[in-house]
Structures are given as C-alpha cells and as structure tokens.
Amino acid sequence: MEGLFFNVNNGFLEGIVRGYKAGILTQSHYASLTQCETLEDLKTQLSATDYGNFLANEASLTTTIISDRATQLLVDQFNFLRSNAVEPLSKFLDYITYSYMIDNVVLLITGTLHERDTHELLERCHPLGVFESMPALCVATNVEELYQSVLVETPLAPYFRNCLSAADLDDLNIEIIRNTIYKAYLEDFYEFVGTLGSPTSDVMRTILAFEADRRTINITINSFGTELTKEQRAKLFPAIGRLFPDGNNALAKADDIEQVRLVCENIPEYRSFFDNSPGDAQDLGDLGIAAQLEDRFFRTEVRLNKEAFLQQFQYGVFYSYVKLKEQEIRNLTWIAECIAQDARDRINDYIPIF
C-alpha cells in the first residue's frame, strides 16, 4: 500500500539518488585509474567520469586535496537531497548525519582536553557532520563548558545526556565515550527505521544490524591488552544486531581473537571473516588479522549497500548511496596515495563497488 503513495513525496528524490548511483565508478574506471603515472593523469582520467572538472581550480594536487574535493561533491549532493526532502525522509537523512556529528564533537572534546585551538579543529571536522550551532562549541574554553554546550546546542543531546557526565570527559574515556554515544545512536536509528514500515525497515535493519555487529567485534578485539574491563566492554556493545544477545555475551568474556572467531562461527555470513589457514593466522599476528578483518567488513558493507538498491519505494537507498560513495572516496584516496608514494605493488588493494 505504501508503494502507491511513496512517489508523491519521495519519487523525485529516489530518482535523483538512483541517478547519482549510476555515476559511481565501475571496475573499468578503476582499471584506467590504476594505470596512471602521476596525480595529473589521475585528474585527467577522473574528468571523463561523473566527477568532471572537480579539480580544475587546483594548481598543485595532493592526496588530501583529491579526497577533500571528492567529499565536498558528496556533501553537495546530500545537501540537495536534504533540502528537497519532507518528513519522514528529512528526519531519516538527519539520522545519517548524526554519526558524523558524533565524530566531530568527540574531535572537539579531544582538542579542548589538549588545549588545541578549536577553530583549527573545525577545519578537520567532516562536513556532513557540521551543524548550525557548531561554531558555538568553539567558544568553550574547558571541557565542562564544552559538555554544557553539547547538551544544549546539538541534536546529539539525548545521547550525551543519557550516556555520560562532564566528569567522564578525560583522555582515558574518550574512546569509551565515542562508543557509548554511537551505541545509543545506532539503537535509536534502529528503532526509528522500525517506525517507517516495510520495506525501509527490512533493508535498513539488515544494514544497521551488521554495523552494530561490526562495532561489537571491533570493540572486543581493540580492548585486548588494554585497561578496559570486561564489564565496561559489555556496556559498549549495541543491543541490536545478529550477535545480540548470545554472541554479545560471549564476546564480552572473550580473551583472544580465536574466541572471537568461534563466536562469529554461529552466524553463517560471518564465518568467512576469519577464514585463514592456520599458518596464515600465525604469520599475520593479531594486528594483521584485525586489518584483514576490517577489509572484509568493508566488502560486506559494500555488498549490503548494493543490495539496498534492488528494492524500490524505500529510504535505504539514500543511506546506501552515501556509504558507497564514501567507499569510493576511500578507493580514490588509496589509489592517489599509491601513485604519490610510487607504491604500485599495492595500488590494486582497493575495494571494488560495481
């Protein structure tokens, strides 16, 4: 029934975002990009794609400039979608920006703790996570003031209010704070998409469940050998996802990567994350396995976001487009960095999308 009325408010924007998706770089584009000898060659190759002349005004090219300009194109596209959206799509698009806001606010908190110039930090913030009252946070001269500003001035206030107090804001707890707030955000987003009904809730809950499981696994592995207690670790796990609740309980007690692997064995799609011959696992070490795991997480994320486009009349395509475009920007940055560093043996270690 919803499909009959979906296009009244959202058909135009869904058509736009599917048009944007058609401009995502394909394998043949990447084949051309990896043959480039210099960043100027890369710029020329990209000019023949949907990126067009986005680097035309740059006198000298660096990897950072390429990444920043590509990100700005994504932000411009997102802002166009957001400015034309009506409820509940507009609120859904706001939720997409909250994850970037969390990273930006945590960056400002970290900078204030270390007495860095917050105006410098503003330039390093992700543009998708910039909100209207963000400059007001720069007025804060200490962590207490910043905490009060966050509670009053930002859309993240409910997550902060329920998760921590100003006394928690110190170096030791910064990552705990980030993960606690992200847990609250994911659970809230998961609940919100449930109110939108099928097929949006079906598509988005699959994606958010994977995101929650990825964070749970990463938190577990990153907490090995740190001062984080198992009780603290358990509190950081999102209460959603395919590992919840039994897998989360087992991961809270895990002491090494082998135990994490055994927990993931219970989810058929997660078994391949740790697929290694015994010799490989010993050669890689814990850090190597964690890096390989992150790569496999990205590949799974790309697959889930591509699958979101197989269904019509749902909002998941907006979320998935942003995530696929982010992966494309990571790919471009990787290729540009390999060209700049003359590390051609690793230039093909990107994650293809289409």
List, for residues 95-133, the tens digit of each pLDDT value. Answer: 999 999 999 888 887 887 777 877 788 888 999 998 877
- Contact 130/104 with Cβ under 8 angstroms? yes
Average pLDDT for 287-302: 87
**For 174-192, b where at least 16 C-beta lie within 10 A, e where not — what string?**
bbbbbbbbbbbbbbebbeb
Average pLDDT for 209-233: 91
Residue 140 in this model has a pLDDT that exceeds 90: no
* Poorest-pLDDT segment among 11-25, 81-95, 220-234, 303-317: 220-234
Instruction: Calculate ∠ Cα 332-335-341, nearest 5°.
Output: 135
Average pLDDT for 159-173: 67
Distance CA 300, CA 294 (A): 10
**For 131-151, b where at least 16 C-beta lie within 10 A, e where not — what string?**
beebeebbebeebeebbebbe
Average pLDDT of the chain is: 88
Distance CA 75, CA 254 (A): 40
Contacts of 94 (CB under 8 A, 6+ apart): 82, 155
Cα 195–chain centre separation:
23
Neighbours of 342 (CB within 10 A): 9
> Could you tell me the pLDDT band of residue 172, with boundaries at 50, 70 and 90?
low
- Contact 274/293 with Cβ under 8 angstroms? yes
Contacts of 31 (CB under 8 A, 6+ apart): none
**Nearest 10 degrees: CA dihedral of 267, 303, 216, 149?**
-150
Residue 175 in this model has a pLDDT that exceeds 90: no
Residue 282 in this model has a pLDDT that exceeds 60: no
> Could you tell me the pLDDT band of residue 151, with boundaries at 50, 70 and 90?
low
- Contact 122/133 with Cβ under 8 angstroms? no
**pLDDT at residue number 281:** 46
* Number of helices followed by number of strands (H, E) in the chain: 16, 0
**pLDDT at residue number 1:** 54
Residue among 177, 249, 185, 254 at smallest CA distance from 223: 254
**pLDDT at residue number 203:** 96
Token pair 């609120």 in the structure block, residue: 91
Cα 146–chain centre separation:
25
| One-letter identity of residue 272 | S
**pLDDT at residue number 121:** 84
**pLDDT at residue number 279:** 44
- Contact 120/108 with Cβ under 8 angstroms? no
Residue among 188, 238, 231 at smallest CA distance from 216: 238
Token pair 């058509």 in the structure block, residue: 15
* Poorest-pLDDT segment among 131-140, 153-162, 218-227, 255-264: 131-140
Largest CA distance in the chain: 58
State the DSSP string of 141-187.
-SHHHHHHHHHHHSTTHHHHHHH--GGG-SGGGHHHHHHHHHHHHHH
